[in-house]
Amino acid sequence: MNKNRLIRHRTSIRALLCGALAVLLALPAAPRASAEPDISVYAEGRPIRFETPPLMLGDTTMVPFRPVFEALGLKVQWDADTQTVTGTGDALMIRLQIGSAQADINGAVKRMPLAPRLVGSTAYVPLRFVGEATGREVVWNEEGPTVTIGPARDLFVYEGETKDGVREGRGKLYWNGALLYEGEFRRGLPDGRGVKYYADGTVMYEGGFSAGAMEGKGKLYRSDGTLWYDATFDDNGINGPGTCYFPQGHRLVGSFRDGVPEGPGEYYYGDGTLRFVGVWKNGTRNGFGTWYYANGKPFFEGELEYSYPLHGKLYYESGTLKYEGKLNRDFAPDGEGTLYAEDGTVRFRGSFDDGVPVK
């Protein structure tokens, strides 16, 4: 019996998907002022994490300076005495001062739509101005709302049905010359059934979309083309019932929260044999569970914590009880317990140390 524990499945799928689908979520739309409190910002396809959220002041998106500067590859300096922010990179220097609408870009004075300002103890700067000052394209998507900072060139080409100049119906969207998405559109964004592709043309996802995000039943694939999840998607996250497929052919059938197992589930090996039934919490086995031999008989049943056994029962491959009591991480008797012979007679009752009776 292979007693090794399976690697804990802790991948944050939502973060992965957000990065991989950033360009999809940033399909160009006519910019307008938004009162939406949650603005997502992406730089070069990766989400920017803020401790304090972006703000909309009129038509201008204001963001905490440090996360944006660092995401754009700039080294950051803050002068508290002059309240000046400086970002430096290859052949670029940006200097902004709190309360001043004039910016110093490589020694040239440029005017910003709004002056940087302090909100509490956090310095906020105009996002579009900073992004464009680095030579990048800044795209606002009102449906998110989402702001994407990317290369300064026309990335998107659309072929398909439109309504009043907006993508509506079936179509294909190309990004940087490669097919990004094909399927149904509504209000300019993927909405309905569709297929999302990796840059090399391999299918990334096929299933439901809503307002540009993966929604409902769908299948997510790895970049090598192998199936990863056949599951329920919610705003790009995997939430609800589904199946996760592992590279070695194993699969986990159960419920998921943000892409990791949560709640009751079943784990199968590549040959289809059931190897574990139990409860997951935060991606690890926590609670009552049962491990099985390859012949379908139980090997262990009992309480687990972080995938390790606490106490329970061990069985012979014939299915008869072998041991009942406390166990260590290697499923060996450790602590108080009772060891049985295969005919059911008691061999030892008392204390164990790493599988050895303490007499």
23/46 Cα distance (integer angstroms)? 9
The confidence band for 5, taking pLDDT boundaries of 50, 70 and 90, is: very low
Q: Are 295 and 271 in contact (CB under 8 A)?
A: no
Lowest mean pLDDT, pick from 55-64, 92-101, 175-184, 238-247? 175-184
Handedness of CA 54, 49, 141, 97 (dihedral sign): positive
Return the DSSP state at 201: S
pLDDT, tens digit, for every residue of 277-334? 999 999 999 999 999 999 999 999 999 999 999 999 999 999 999 999 999 999 999 9
Tokens at 126, concatenated: 């105009």
* Residues 6 or more apart whose Cβ sits within 8 Å of residue 230: 218, 219, 242, 243, 245
Host H or E run for residue 18:
helix 13-20
Residue 130 lies in a domain: yes
The CATH number of the domain holding residue 98 is 3.30.457.10
* Residues 6 or more apart whose Cβ sits within 8 Å of residue 257: 239
Bridging pattern class, strands 40-43 and 146-151: parallel
pLDDT, tens digit, for every residue of 97-138? 999 999 988 777 889 999 999 999 899 999 999 988 887 888
* Residues 6 or more apart whose Cβ sits within 8 Å of residue 227: 219, 220, 221, 245
Q: Residue 133 is which amino acid?
A: A
Domain assignment of residue 79, given as a range: 32-150
Longest Cα–Cα distance in the chain: 90
pLDDT, tens digit, for every residue of 171-192? 998 866 788 899 999 988 899 9
Overall domain count for the chain: 1
Q: Which of 133, 128, 155, 126 is nearest to 27 (CA)?
A: 155
Residue 239 lies in a domain: no
Question: What region, left, alpha or beta, does residue 259 occupy, with left being phi > 0 and alpha being psi -120 to 50 degrees?
Answer: left
Residue 66 lies in a domain: yes
Q: Which of 61, 221, 59 is nearest to 128 (CA)?
A: 61
pTM for this prediction:
0.58
CA atoms within 13 A on the CB side of 279: 10
Tokens at 246, concatenated: 């592992």
Q: Are 202 and 221 in contact (CB under 8 A)?
A: yes
Residue 140 lies in a domain: yes
Tokens at 36, concatenated: 């939406």
Gyration radius from the chain CA atoms = 28
Residue 69 lies in a domain: yes
Residue 198 lies in a domain: no
320/340 Cα distance (integer angstroms)? 9
Residue 134 lies in a domain: yes
By residue count, the chain amounts to 359
Residue 196 lies in a domain: no
Q: Annotate 213-264 with DSSP letters as a single string.
A: EEEEEEEEE-TTS-EEEEEEEETTEEEEEEEEE-TTS-EEEEEEETTEEEEE
pLDDT, tens digit, for every residue of 219-235? 999 989 999 999 999 98
pLDDT, tens digit, for every residue of 243-264? 999 999 999 999 999 889 999 9
Q: State whether residue 137 is helix, strand or coil.
A: strand
